[in-house]
A and B are shown apart, each in its own frame.
Chain A
Amino acid sequence: MRQLCKGNVAVVKGALLAGCRAYYGYPITPASEIAEAAAELLPQAGGTFLQAESEVAAINMVYGAAAAGLRVLTASSGPGISLMQEGLSYLAGAELPCVIVDVGRGGPGLGNIAPEQGDYFALVKGGGHGNYRNLVLAPASVQEMADLTMLAFDLADRYRNPAVVLTDGYIGQMMEPLELRAHDVPQPEKPWAVCGTPETRQNLITSIYMEPDVLEAHVRKLEAKYRQAAQAEARYELYCADEPEVLLVGYGIVSRVLRSAVDLARAQGVRAGLFRPITLWPFPSQALARAARRCQSVFVVEMSTGQMVEDVRLALDGRVDVEFFGRVGGNVPLAEEVCQELLVRMGMTVDWGV
């Protein structure tokens, strides 16, 4: 049944459908409804919910549950994600699958609780120590909060690696229709898990490799895995992207604003299109390069001072002019504002016809 649901709650519903029965987390606005929904739903499905004493404890509980072979979820926002970074590095190093949701808020420091996209570097580029990657998905609707959480569990298991759902306060707090269908995809076997059974007695979960050659081999193995994911898992969405003169690029809530901005720009006679990365890592570089091939310029909009734009520039490799527009501090750009900025940069005057 189609139901009106809050983005944060949809995460937990998706997780339940994906077979997740363990949640360990610490409250923080604007992510707390995820913990609250997990506290209500998981124990009723025979699962575990535990409010940890900190995000540091939470991510290490996630490490324990993942080592035990469970599908496990945690969620937080900016400051809490910073505290989880050591744990994320351990999880990747020990090849443990899990799903972490970051409902982004304004930073740095305590910043504020309004939506921002300032955690891109911290989650897409790393943030923790060492050579590892997170798989990062960026939902743009309540439906995708559930769908991409489910996908995140599948990807995490497929690559034995943490998967992150990177979203923001608006997508987390807003309500939209949500359609859930029973999800019968069998969960993969985890013969490597440590379960306190005779069959798993020989198993060892660790990320320490003291010999340089052994650690190098381990890191190379991770690298090969990431290369494979980069080939196979890039996802994106296009809107009005049939031979556009200017291609707007944005993810999450910004992509929703850009969709409206594209409509406004088209009404002004500009052939605008939208490219929305759904996976931030792997970044859909090839698809972007293809979509931008005949564009005069690419216009990147973020709620940051310019983070994803670096990946856009790398993908386009100087072949197309890349313009950037960012709002921060919890300000969400408006479609009109974006359109106006776009037209100004294209050297056009604006006629709103009012």
Chain B
Amino acid sequence: MSDYRVIEAKSSVFFDRYERKPELQQQTHYCPGCGHGVVHKLIAEAIEDLGLQDRTILVSPVGCSVFAYYYFNTGNVQAAHGRTPAVATALKRSHPESIVIGYQGDGDLAAIGMSEIVHAANRGEKFTIFFVNNAIYGMTGGQMAPTTLVGQMSTTTPWGRRPSNEGFPLHMAELLATLEAPVYIERVALCDNKNIMRTRKAVRKALELQRDAAGFSFVEILSPCPTIWKMTPAEARNWVAEKMLPVFPLGVLRDRKLPPSGNAVPPQHSVAELLELAAPGEAPSTLQPPRAPLPGLAVNIAGFGGQGILLLGQVLAEMGLRAGQEVSWLPSYGPEMRSGSAHCHVCLANERVGSPLVEHPQVLVAMNEPSLRKFAAQVAADGLVLYNRDALPAGFSVPQARVYCVPASEIADRLGAAKTANMVMLGALLELTHALPAETALAVLQTKVRNPALLEINRHALDAGAERIRKAVPPAILTTA
């Protein structure tokens, strides 16, 4: 019978002798009548007939088919239990011209690897999965699989699978057919020669689709495991027909082309462009920037999220960088930001910055009262406090430091951009400390604020802050005792 010969003939995609196998190198390690052997043959024949051998990468799972690479004379990658679709995803994306075949059992795919298969299918990864469903864990000796039938005995369902305890068998083909992306999903069975021929067609079709870069293809194969089922090969085939088919109906669940996508295409650049590297040959411009005779400065800036706390710190750090200083900027991050408060530490130094944590700031910029109360005591002796109000809270003082009350939010409101309160404070800070020239602040802002009108307001904000300091009442009076 011609059908029979196809199944028994050895494809040239298999090794002549299974030299990767420790012993008995003429035969496979599968039990007589095992479905894996049949599926292997069908895959090998399809690869051979389609001329895909040199391009094929087979990803083998953990399960009885872990040793698929003993047999397939193709590229081979062995994956962790259940992760074949993740491994295959990266293989295919790394080498789009390759033909990537994932081979998985039911424990591998539908239990431990459920997440990976669903997501790979949902992304429409352009590879093929052959899913061998034998309703049991073969390799580990007969435990329940997610596809074990209701009432079916296994070593971990000694009274048969009970839906009250283990739920119902999972229908993977149907489940994946709820997704948009897959182009081909079919369930077939190895219960008789006619169905084996259907399986053969399905395997071939899935690989043709991959060859044509059509999308994700998936073939579920109901497969006998005579050893664990404790049956003869013939009985096992019958069991597939009689017990599995009613639970897992055969047929094509998906066969369609993907609609054209409206994907945005990222612009392409050289690494040098992306990273703004100096052109080759060009001397690195600022390898050793000239050391400016500027004082170092350690600053804490604190307030509400949304007050531009982090940006103020960044502008300051960037100014220091442009002046050839060593700088660091350390932000608060995460839920603290979400809870509404924000702070950052900035160090400007003329040598390598040690700890970027500012323990005793020379300047504290407190944009609200809680920050003032929280951080004022840490300010260094003879340090400065810039407080975003007309006056300190009643009864509050900072004995070791000079306090300047700069109602930056009010001033910024008057300028028409409440968000520039941080720049009012920066103007004040620069005027007080002379740490860095104010023009540098503008130059830095030019790179951050693209809108010219807004840039102009920022300039006014810087000026207004400086102006406020120039006109300030001597600070001693403001530090109410």
Contact B66 A201 (CB under 8 A): no
Interface residue? A80 (CB, 8 A): no
Interface residue? B213 (CB, 8 A): no
Interface residue? B143 (CB, 8 A): no
Q: Say whether, besides A16-B271, A175-B314, A180-B275, A194 and B334 are in contact (CB < 8 Å).
A: no
Contact B356 A173 (CB under 8 A): no
Contact B334 A174 (CB under 8 A): no
B126 to chain A, nearest CB (A): 12
Task: Kindly identify which residue among B83, B89, B329 contacts A56, using a CB–CB cutoff of 8 Å.
Answer: B83
When each residue 115-152 of chain B gets 1 if its CB lies under 8 Å from chain A and 0 otherwise, what string results? 11011000000000000000000000000000000000
When each residue 259-285 of chain A gets 1 if its CB lies under 8 Å from chain B and 0 otherwise, what string results? 111010000000000000000000000
Which residues of chain B come closer than 8 Å to A70, judged between CB atoms? 94
Q: Which of A147-155, A306-314, A332-340 lies at the binding interface?
A: A332-340
Contact A176 B353 (CB under 8 A): yes
Interface residue? B261 (CB, 8 A): no
Q: Say whether, besides A180-B275, A201-B73, A206-B76, A57 and B53 are in contact (CB < 8 Å).
A: no
Which of A62, A169, A197, A205 has the largest count of B CB atoms less than 10 A from its CB? A205
Task: Kindly identify which residue among B86, B317, B326 contacts A175, using a CB–CB cutoff of 8 Å.
Answer: B317
A79 to chain B, nearest CB (A): 14
Interface residue? A127 (CB, 8 A): no
Which residues of chain A come closer than 8 Å to B289, judged between CB atoms? 2
Which residues of chain B come closer than 8 Å to A261, judged between CB atoms? 355
B230 to chain A, nearest CB (A): 25
Task: Kindly identify which residue among A13, A48, A53, A170 contacts B116, using a CB–CB cutoff of 8 Å.
Answer: A53
How far is A55 from B202 in the complex, measured between Cα atoms in Å? 33
Q: Say whether, besides A60-B79, A64-B90, A257 and B321 are in contact (CB < 8 Å).
A: no
Q: Say whether, besides A170-B356, A176-B353, A69 and B330 are in contact (CB < 8 Å).
A: no
The number of residues on chain B lying at the interface, defined by a beta carbon within 8 Å of a beta carbon of chain A, is: 76
Give the residues from 20 to 41 in chain A that come closer than 8 angstroms, CB to CB, to chain B.
Answer: 22, 24, 29-30, 41
Task: Kindly identify which residue among A4, A17, A72 contacts B271, using a CB–CB cutoff of 8 Å.
Answer: A17
Contact B76 A194 (CB under 8 A): yes
Q: Which 10 A-B pairs have the closest CB atoms?
A: A196-B98, A64-B90, A68-B94, A260-B354, A60-B86, A60-B83, A206-B78, A64-B87, A259-B354, A65-B90
- 26 A-B contacts, Cβ less than 8 Å apart? A44-B269, A48-B93, A54-B115, A57-B115, A61-B89, A63-B83, A63-B87, A64-B86, A114-B334, A170-B356, A173-B333, A176-B328, A179-B287, A180-B277, A182-B278, A194-B77, A195-B95, A196-B56, A197-B98, A201-B54, A253-B356, A256-B353, A257-B355, A259-B354, A260-B354, A354-B381
